[in-house]
Amino acid sequence: METLAIFGGKPVRDKKIFYGRQWIDDDDVQAVAGTLKGDYITCGPSVAALADRICEVTGAKHAVTVCNGTAALHCACIAAGLGPGDEVITTPLTFAASANCAVYVGATPVFADVNPETYNIDPDSIEAHITDRTRAVVAVDFTGQAVEHERIRQICDKHGLILIIDAAHAIGTKYKGQPEGSLGDMTCFSFHPVKTITSGEGGAITTNDPELYRKLFLASQHGITHDESEFVEKNPEGPWYYEMQTLGFNYRMTDFQAALLMSQLKKLSKFSDRRKEIVRRYNEAFGDVPELILQKEIPESDTTRHLYIIRLNKDKLSCTRREFFDALSAENVQCQVHYVPVYYFPFYQERGYKKGLCPIAEEIYEGIMSIPLYPLMTDEDVESVIEAVKKVAAYYRK
């Protein structure tokens, strides 16, 4: 048995590798530099051009760019008209913003359980949690895999619910050949550095509904419009006039962020293809390791995977997740856990949410960790991660 690095053995890798990393090249740098040297670094033409390009990529009719994915979700809840007394169904196996966005507008998050194989929100659990106060569903494309859109859409239509897709992980993913971004009433994206493409920080919301688009735009722009055709005051004093028509927020994206994302979008297919290559190699390598359980995918999802999650089969291992995690770290493979169930956090516990709400999600959480996955990884990087995971699994095999 090979000695683990944590116990004094030689690490598989000499240099630490982390679960995610951006890929910025000279074209990206030049795009940002060109904007910084131009006339506009915010509220300029690059932002408008980016919105058009996002529509082209997603197939949506409208797009609003914002400063991050959390802002995107907040704007979606505002545009949906959600408020106190309303309930919003979402998954606990996600980043906190997927639920917090409901709290921001005074609504109440309700947590539905997940599919035990795909880890995405379970449509049956969504339907079981609908009450006369339910107004919306925030369905998360967890790890980048598309949710069961057709079934969830049917449920939302049946009960008159707004469907918000949290596609923070899923730029580039398609469902039945249709890109994420045009399948929900509103779809929210994140462009954080560990996502498939990045603007540093940044986000976007897409929709096919012109009225939702108008509300999204106002929500992200202080509630202010400069469009004379929308003015309540029909005889403005002069060309300087603008109107604040509702309470909004300053969620604008800068032009140099937009320029970076425009450059990154040119490489979306390349990045997506490389992520798929790595996922295939991981699936091949770990498919016959009994100590690991792999996330499954629905056939309808052509997935650009943001995260690759391994789940420990506790019946086959003599260690805890923490021991497995620390052993991989000592081999210089630094993992992360996505995610702590949202209602475990003190903020939600103090508001009456208790452990046990979603037993499947909780069981999944106990054994999962995300291993490195990003396009800049070399084949050697990938093989070293595989070697490290198998080394630790073999050491702790019962």
- In angstroms, the CA 185 to CA 201 distance is 24
- In angstroms, the CA 340 to CA 295 distance is 17
In contact, 148 and 120? CB cutoff 8 Å: yes
The pLDDT assigned to 236 comes to: 87
pLDDT in tens, 241-298: 999 999 999 999 999 999 999 999 999 999 999 999 999 999 999 999 999 999 999 9
Q: Angle of helix 255-265 relative to helix 26-36, nearest 10 degrees?
A: 150
Mean pLDDT of 315-333: 98
Q: How many CB atoms lie within 10 A of CB 202?
A: 28
**315 pLDDT tier (thresholds 50, 70, 90):** very high
The pLDDT assigned to 233 comes to: 86
- Which residue segments constitute the domains of the chain, with CATH numbers given? 5-21+268-395 (3.90.1150.10), 26-265 (3.40.640.10)
Strand partners, 292: 312
The pLDDT assigned to 109 comes to: 98
The pLDDT assigned to 278 comes to: 98
pLDDT in tens, 37-60: 999 999 999 999 999 999 999 999
pLDDT in tens, 225-255: 999 999 998 888 899 999 999 999 999 999 9
Quote the radius of gyration of the chain (alpha carbons, Å): 22
**363 pLDDT tier (thresholds 50, 70, 90):** very high
CA distances from 157 to 83, 109, 137, 290 (A): 20, 20, 11, 41
In contact, 168 and 69? CB cutoff 8 Å: yes
Mean pLDDT of the chain: 97
Work out the end-to-end distance of the chain between its first and last CA atoms, rounded to an integer number of angstroms: 13
pLDDT in tens, 134-172: 999 999 999 999 999 999 999 999 999 999 999 999 999
Sheet containing 292-294: order of strands: 292-294, 308-312, 368-371
Pairing between β-strand 134-140 and β-strand 87-90 as defined by DSSP bridges = parallel
Q: How many CB atoms lie within 10 A of CB 388?
A: 26
Mean pLDDT of 199-204: 97
Q: Which residues of 74-92 are buried (b: 16+ CB within 10 A; e: fewer)?
A: bbbbbbbebeeebbbbbbb
**112 pLDDT tier (thresholds 50, 70, 90):** very high
The pLDDT assigned to 234 comes to: 84
The percent of residues above 70 in pLDDT, for the chain, comes to: 100
